Amino acid sequence: MQRCGQCHRLVFYPRELCPYCSASDLTWEKLSGRGRVYSFTIVRKPSIPSFRSLAPYVYAIIELSEGVRLASNVINCLPEEVAIDMPVRPVFAKAPSSRTVLLFEPDPAPTKKPLLASG
């Protein structure tokens, strides 16, 4: 994630200028990736046709341990197992577009065989 060299705040999403002080000296910093579920919903009927085969899935706001919040999915557990404040860790997955996407799974990971969000 980017960090501002002037005000030292983390910046997300990536930008040319710091949104807090307008400085341009943003540098990349490696984060733990660990966090907690800040909020979530279980999507059962996606409005986007290409997401329908994935339902039900968890759309969540994750608060990283460094304090930044971002939107993602929680996978490798049943949607009904997700809860507010649940610890999560990052999972990098290939999307059908072949792009790498950042998802999250329970931390510690479930001991049973992982279930993908697509079920």
Q: How far is the CB of 16 from Zn ion (least distance, A)?
A: 12
Place of tokens 């909020």: 39
10 forms part of the interface with Zn ion (CB under 5 A): no
* Contact flags string 21-50 toward Zn ion, x per CB under 5 A: x-x---------------------------
Q: Record the tokens describing residue 109, joined without a space.
A: 């990971």
Q: How far is the CB of 21 from Zn ion (least distance, A)?
A: 3
Q: For residue 96, give Cα distances in angstroms to 52, 53, 103.
A: 14, 12, 14
Residue 74 contacts residue 54 (beta carbons within 8 Å): no
Q: Record the tokens describing residue 29, joined without a space.
A: 């910093």
20 forms part of the interface with Zn ion (CB under 5 A): yes
* Chain residues that interact with Zn ion, rule: CB under 5 A: 4, 6-7, 18, 20-21, 23
